[in-house]
Amino acid sequence: MRAAKTSCKIKNKNNSKLKTQNLEHISGAEGIYDEKDVHKICNKYIQRALTHPRGEPDEIVITIEKIKQNPDIASILPITTSQCSSPDEARETISQRLSELNISKKAVVNAFKVLTSKKTMRGASLIVMRSGKRVEPDKERGIRVSRMGITKTAERKLLQILYKIVIPAKVYDPTHRAGIQSRETGFRIPRLLTSRAGKPGITGTHDEMIKNKITTIKEAVILASKVASCQSVIAEVCISDDPDYTTGYIASKRFGYLRIPNIKKYGEMHGGRVMFIKENTEIEDLIGYLEKRPILINIQGK
Ligand code: WAQ
Ligand code: MG
């Protein structure tokens, strides 16, 4: 079994004199795969990196590692979607859930500072649930959750669930000039495509967008399930830093994976991840688990 990952970087245009230090991280993806699937998955990662909504990369780094340790198994979180029509409402919903988990107001305020900051981190911030203190050692990089995958059985089941979620409904949205958008999923197809809908070639593009959306949610559910499997993590909140992805989530052992549409406005570049952790957490152990321990996500009881 192998772990494969990509990260792509773009030159920071405001700082183009610094040749080596001016690479801004724009995206990353990873998973645990059977050796025979590694070629195929690397091609997909390259394709994604080259067409990323945050910009065209100057550098793509691919790492393939042999997994020596047998992966542990963790359960997939159940998925639900909340009704939410604006970033303000999203903040309200998230704050409410976090307070039910006994997370302090201060911790929530600090989390939103990270999530809405113009300067996005590569990884996640760790926030202590009562004191609200940020404890990740590197505040720019954060913690990168890594070495997580999904069993074939769980993946099939998850894809069935996700196909049902990602069926776009016809909604006219004058503010974003989109022809079709599902309010429930935050899925959007540009007007250009919808105005030509029905003509040859459109279905292919449409299918591609649905597939991309499904991949995004699938990867987020796998990551969130690994994170939720840590005893010391109480909850995680995520906003994508992609300008065209407006659905986020809050995940916890208690509530599962709750999707939050319209967590940000279309076109906004901010995003991030925060994990709320117990007061007495051994930080190094937690980071070791999140970054290094191979975990396969499975359906409970299988
Ligand atoms: N480990 C920790 N943090 C990460 C990782 C990682 N492996 N990858 C990304 N992040 C952080 C980083 O700060 C990014 O800026 C931020 O998360 C967002 O990353 O059900 O696509 O890859 O529809 O843009 C949510 C899907 C998708 C919700 C999230 O995040 C749904 C997404 P992105
Ligand atoms: Mg992103």
Same domain, 15 and 162: no
pLDDT at site 13: 41
Tell whether the torsion through CA atoms of 290, 148, 254 and 183 is positive or negative: positive
What is the number of the ligand 1 atom nearest to the C-alpha of 241? 24
Q: Is residue 179 domain-resident?
A: yes
Co-location of 151 and 33 in the same domain: no
Asked which of 15, 31, 66 is the last residue of a domain, the reply is 66
Ligand 2 centroid from CA 18, angstroms: 24
- Among 248, 24, 220, residue whose Cα is nearest residue 115: 248
The CA distance from 226 to 129, in Å, is 19
User: Among all chains, which residue has been given the structure tokens 């990551």?
Assistant: 223
Compute the distance between CA of residue 219 and CA of residue 3 in angstroms, rounded to an integer.
Answer: 14
Print the domain residue range for 58. Answer: 2-66
Residues 287 and 229 in one domain: yes
CA–CA separation, 239 vs 186, rounded Å?
Answer: 13
**Residue type for position 244:** D
100 and 41: one domain?
no
Q: Are residues 138 and 217 in the same domain?
A: yes
272: enclosing H helix or E strand: strand 272-277
Pocket of ligand 1 (CB under 6 A): 28, 120-124, 143-145, 216-217, 220, 223, 238, 240-242, 245, 247-249, 259, 271-273
Domain identity same for 230 and 277 = yes
User: How long a stretch of residues is the chain?
Assistant: 302
Query: What is d(CA 255, CA 235) in angstroms, rounded to the nearest whole number?
Result: 9
Identify which of 9, 148, 223, 241 to mutate to test ligand 1's pocket (most ligand atoms within 8 A of the CB).
Answer: 241
Q: 175 and 276, same structural domain?
A: yes
Instruction: Give the position of tokens 């949205």.
Output: 173
Residue at 253 is within a domain: yes
36 CA from centroid of ligand 1 (Å): 27
Distances, alpha carbon 12 to alpha carbons 17, 51, 92, 241, in Å: 10, 18, 34, 16
Query: Which parts of the chain sit beneath pLDDT 70?
Result: 1-4, 6-22, 167-205, 301-302
Give the number of the atom of ligand 1 that is nearest the alpha carbon of residue 144. Answer: 1
Residues 24 and 122 in one domain: no
Q: Which residues surround ligand 2, an ion (CB under 5 A)?
A: 27, 241-242
Residue 178 is assigned to a structural domain of this protein: yes
pLDDT value at position 271? 97
Q: Are residues 115 and 53 in the same domain?
A: no
Q: What's residue 7's pLDDT?
A: 67
Q: Establish if 168 belongs to a structural domain.
A: yes
pTM for this predicted structure: 0.86
Q: Final residue of a domain: which of 22, 44, 66?
A: 66
| Residue 148, strand partner residues | 295
What integer pLDDT is reported at residue 56 of this predicted model? 87
277 and 183, same structural domain?
yes
Q: Which of 10, 42, 66 is the last residue of a domain?
A: 66
Residues 83 and 220 in one domain: yes
Is 173 in the same domain as 132? yes
DSSP 222: H
Classify residue 71: in a domain, yes or no. no
Number of domains composing the chain: 2
Give the pLDDT score at 287: 98
Taking the centre of ligand 1 as the mean of its atom positions, its distance from the CA of residue 201, in whole angstroms, is 31
